[in-house]
Structure 1
Amino acid sequence: MANLGNTTKIKTKRESLIKRMGSCFINYSYYFLPHPELFSPHLHTSSIRSVRTISMTSPAAPLRILVPAGCRSPHKHPIPVHHVERRPKRRSLACTSCQRKKVKCSGPPPCEACAATNSECFFEPLTDKRRRLTRKAVEKDMESYRDVSMYLISILRSGKEDDVNNLVKEVQKASSLDSALADLQSLISGEKS
């Protein structure tokens, strides 16, 4: 009979929690787990089945209510987020003078080392791998935009109403400008093949 009393208490706690939490609460039995001290160290509890078995076989154990992280009580205050100070941006490449001397370069021209020695502070952009990769990506995008522009101009210059109307329909059915551009790019790449 003591088991029936515990079950009623658990049910009442669960119902009151559901009322407080509203629709955020997910009603799974494995959210009600026995207290961790009741688990023996040799017992493997990684699967949900073993946790359910333990919670069903030890009715006298006090149950902990586990709530999903996104559904906290509204009366609790949010945890303050500490702002992390970011380091100032450093150049990914040292100036030629600092490279020759093998010293740390402080950044934008004139760097501190060049200013101290009154030497010329010059950054060579072609030797920087990160900038080179970025430049190649930008060049690829520019080439793609150029292809789209040339395609649009060629259709408009041809003056064929069917081609112009098909182009207008293609652009209008796109959900955004970016998707219209992507559709045109795929259309152009299909014609090139």
Structure 2
Amino acid sequence: MSKNNVLRELLPRRKESSMQCLKTESPTKPRRVSLACTECQKRKSKCSGTTPCTKCTIEARQCFYNPAGDRRRKAHTADLLNFRAALYRIAAKLRSGTPEEISRLIWGIQNLPTDQDAVNHLVDGCLLHDDLGIH
């Protein structure tokens, strides 16, 4: 065998280098910003969501956010407040209602086909307001 045909020995890859490869090969997904600052909204440019945002810092603009413009967060907050109010009404009825009122409440929950239907029915007030007399 000649010297030119000799293959070099291959060694297994070190663990830390394989971990570095995994980290560099899979970039992280960019974070979505719920609300852009007013300057980025005007210019229809991508906002970093920081205070001040990156674009406003680079271009020396005044950066401010209008919280009333964040419709997604506003709707979510309103939904949570409705669920919380319904939960308080249910707890109050379970604590102070008559056995008949509590039975009707439980019957209404048990006889709806899905959990989501039961929650919607309670939050919409069908069981809490009309049937049980809670106001």
| Residue 113 of structure 1, CA deviation | 3.0
Are residues 1:107 and 2:53 paired? no
Corresponding residue for 2:116?
A: 178
Q: Which amino acid aligns with 1:187?
A: L
| Residue 173 of structure 1, CA deviation | 1.1
1:89-124 deviation digits (Å, cap 9, x = unpaired): 98686535557xx64543113544324246664323
Aligned counterpart for 1:95 among listed residues 27, 31, 37: 37
Aligned counterpart for 2:100 among listed residues 122, 140, 162: 162
Corresponding residue for 1:187?
A: 127
> What does residue range 1-80 of structure 1 map to in structure 2 within 5 Å?
none
> What does residue range 82-161 of structure 1 map to in structure 2 within 5 Å?
95-96=37-38, 103-108=43-48, 109=50, 111-117=53-59, 121-126=63-68, 128=69, 131-132=70-71, 134-158=72-96, 160-161=98-99
Q: Which runs of 5+ in 2 are unaligned?
A: 1-29
Q: Which runs of 5+ in 1 are unaligned?
A: 1-87
Corresponding residue for 1:61?
A: none
Q: How many residues align?
A: 100
Structure 2 CA distance, aligned partners of 1:106 and 1:158? Answer: 53
* TM-score using structure 1 length: 0.38
Structure 2 CA distance, aligned partners of 1:159 and 1:186? Answer: 16
Larger-gyration structure (1/2) = 1
* TM-score using structure 2 length: 0.51
